[in-house]
Amino acid sequence: MKKLIIAEKPSVAKNIADATASSRKNGYFEGEYYVITWAFGHLLQLYDARDYDPEMRSWKIEKFPYIPEKFLYKIKSDGKNKEKPDSGVVQQMNTIKNLMERKDVEGIISATDDDREGQIIADEIINYISPQKPVERILLNEWTAEEVNRGLNNLKSNEEMKSLQDAGFGRQIADWLIGINLTSVATLKYRNKQNIRLLNVGRVLMPTLKIIYDRDKEIADFKVTKYYKLKGIFQTEEKKDFDSIYYVKGNEKFDNPEELKEIQEKIHGRNGEVVSKKITKKNEYPPYLFNLSGLQGYVTSKYKGWTSDKVLKTAQQLYEKKFITYPRTASVVLDESLKEKTAKVLNIHKKNCPYEEMIQFKSTKRIFDSKKVESHSAIIPTYMQPGKLTESERIVYEAVKNRFLAQFMPIAVAEDTVLHIKMQETDIPGEFVAKGKVQLELGWKLIEGIDAKETILPPVQKGNILPLIKSEINEVERKPPKPHTEKTLLKVMETCGKKYEEKEEEQMMMAILSGFSIGTPATRAETIKKLKDAGYIKAKGKSLTCTDLGKMLVETFPARELFDLEYTGRLEKTLSDIEKKKFTKDDFLSMIKQFVIESVDKIKNDTVFGGPVILEPLHTEPVGICPECGAPVVETARAFGCSAWKKGCKFAIWKDDRFVTSLGKKVSYEMVKILLEHGKVGFRGCVSKRGNKFSAYFYYEKDEKTKRYNWKLEFIDTNPPS
């Protein structure tokens, strides 16, 4: 008898097959003890509203809120034609069903990722097919052969994963309820205002937008002010000069330069006495191991052209190739049970490293602490060393490996020196302070490529009398906050907006692990991408800022709770509590349903939202000339629209145009350029509702009765499609 293993992706199924000596078949692998097949992520999806009720096909605001009595699943829809199931998914589901029903298959093993989303990918399939066979779960942090075989010898009953399953299904249904109802009602309510075509409303999307909006507002409201500092230059007997700054009661910033001018006059030509000299040795520890947010922040800030979404996809590739451990983790330390294994991995990776002699295994709480691990440990390399990597894979892999090795190198040591100098024969209230720093040991900084930043003071002792040879007043302009980058945004999402001091590091880690956050490590990158695609934010270099549509949403959209970081943090914490059996899925969904009902009512009765929206161009070059008024047509985040929209021209071709996408095509820059220049654009390989392919010219013409632009087709084939 054999067991059927369901992996999340074909690449993971191949890893399991390699570990279990299984050979390739059509849609699966098979060995002596196991049959191994795979999903492609989610093979099933929740019903659309119209699947429950045919009347929902006519999109009318009075039909919302729509809340099904029972949530049902169907095979994932085709990407080009939502009316029919994806043929590749149908084929794979049939393969899985046939394998489940084989008489020599006595049980099923779920081998999807060990997280909320991974859990339900397999559970959806098992529930849909309902094979009436025992289901077990393999829980792994990496896909090396050693770990796969260890996991197969330590299976858990899938029943033990019920709370994780509840959290996964709860999240899925909650996002469906909020997305379907609020997106539909908002779009129906506001779509005729200022070229609004589709308003994407989401549980994680809105508070993330609010974070960016708040920073933009801080910058906009910032008033430039100045402060002044008094610098004093002293000289030793050996004619060595050094700088110092004037302080009064710990403050070196003065609003009134006249106050400093008086001080300057009093100290001119005077001597100062070194009244104290304090030397402190300071241990500088390496940054913690990477969790996903930390890795994304590190790479996006260090390398041009990287997004957090790209970092996640690259890390996922390395994970599936068995080179790093599970990437979607919130932990920055390792479970204490991994000490022996980690020592072996370290011995492999330190070989041929320039600092091999400096790298020694140690089991400190900064590296191993089970209390600070939630589900998955921090990201580290596995014992497998990659041969050839793409450039993107190399960047992410080297970041993970170097951060790992840095933990086991000597602590960097710096020596800080602080001199306090009191001016003689004056009655000024303050004193001059000089600060120096010398790097005694670089330690782990060597592998991270961090140079020592030193300020060397000349040899001065307490009691020395030093002449003040020069003083100057420096004017400093206070700088506004900087726009969010993906790195800073991820950190705010991770901590739900709460700021922590360096000394509160442990408190911050425990807060992150509690689940009180905006989104999860797995979803944050996708959220940022969705905000860009929806036209709510824009990226300039590494900076993220709100578009005018995004600003309008935050300022006037009636469902205010969606923008409340505390509210969203509590929802995410509740999902985490469901995993820990502290809360039930049913109670969570009752909260969500009530929120949806109230929010839909607020949107329906709103009279404020939908004011002027600036369509901000993505490029300075126009796409073509507006057929309506002759002004340039520009590309924006969501459409190709007339640049004279402020003067009332409403001409626009929407990127998500349903007619074009229903035929298996998309509205692109090149398409619109040809259309505006020639009045028509030709397409081959269009797909009709019945799946027949055809070629046609597309025209975008104005209906003089309705004053709206609509698509018209001229078939190139002699026999038009049915």
Domains identified in the chain and CATH numbers? 2-154 (3.40.50.140), 170-221+482-604 (1.10.460.10), 226-278+414-477 (2.70.20.10), 292-406 (1.10.290.10), 624-715 (no CATH)
Q: What is the pLDDT of residue 704?
A: 79
What pLDDT does residue 614 have?
Answer: 43
Neighbours of 151 (CB within 10 A): 22
Beta pairing partners, 715: 696
> Per DSSP, what are the bridge partners of residue 686?
694
> What predicted TM-score, i.e. pTM, was given to this entire model?
0.77
User: Which residues make Cβ contacts (< 8 Å) with residue 162, sequence separation at least 6?
Assistant: none
Average pLDDT value for residue range 592-614: 79
Residue 704's Cβ-count burial label (10 Å; 0-12, 13-18, 19+) is exposed
- How far is it, in rounded angstroms, from Cα 71 to Cα 21? 40
User: What confidence category does residue 512 fall into, taking pLDDT thresholds of 50, 70 and 90?
Assistant: very low
Element (H, E) at 702: strand 693-703
Residues 6+ away with beta carbon under 8 Å from 187:
196, 197, 198, 199
Which long-range contacts link 640-648 to residues 24+ away (Cβ below 8 Å)?
640/667, 640/669, 640/672, 641/195, 641/615, 643/617, 645/194, 645/195, 645/615, 646/612, 646/614
* Angstrom distance (rounded) from CA 576 to CA 596: 21
Helices (H) and strands (E) in the chain, counts: 22, 24
- In whole angstroms, give the CA distance from residue 37 to residue 7: 6
pLDDT of residue 515: 59
Q: How far is CA 607 from the centre of its chain?
A: 34
Write the CA distances from 619 to 194, 223, 267, 546, integer angstroms: 21, 31, 58, 17
- Which range among 247-261, 382-396, 467-481, 620-634 shows the weakest confidence by mean pLDDT? 620-634
Greatest extent of the chain over all pairs of C-alpha atoms, in Å: 104
DSSP 289: P
The distance in angstroms from the start CA to the end CA of the chain is 50
* Cβ proximity of 563 and 609 under 8 Å: no
Q: What is the pLDDT of residues 161-170, one digit of tens each?
A: 999 999 999 9
Average pLDDT, the chain: 90
Q: Residue 163 carries which side chain, given as an amino acid letter? A: S
pLDDT on residue 656? 73
| pLDDT for res 166 | 97
CA-CA distance, 459 to 264, in Å (whole number)?
26
Mean pLDDT of 45-61: 90
Q: Write down how long the chain is.
A: 722
Q: What pLDDT is stored for residue 665 in this prediction?
A: 87
- Which residue reads 């059927």 in tokens? 4
d(CA 685, CA 81): 14
Which of 596, 122, 144 is CA-nearest to residue 326? 144
> Tens digit of pLDDT for each residue in 231-264?
999 999 999 999 999 999 999 999 999 999 999 9
Q: Is the pLDDT of residue 442 over 70?
A: yes
Question: Which residues face 280 on adjacent strands?
Answer: 416
Q: Which of 270, 378, 4 is nearest to 155 (CA)?
A: 4
Task: Give the pair of three-digit tokens for residue 718.
Answer: 């002699």
pLDDT in tens, 5-20: 999 999 999 999 999 9
Band (569; pLDDT cuts 50, 70, 90): confident
C-beta separation of 321 from 387 below 8 A: no
User: Of the segments 69-73, 77-81, 498-502, 518-522, which one has the largest average pLDDT value?
Assistant: 69-73
- Per-residue pLDDT of 302-359, as tens digits, reads 999 999 999 999 999 999 999 999 999 989 999 999 999 999 999 999 998 999 999 9
- Residues 616, 50: Cα–Cα separation, whole Å: 35
Give me the phi and psi of 77, to 5 degrees please.
-75, 155
Q: Sort strands 241-247 and 431-441 into parallel, antiparallel or unpaired.
A: antiparallel
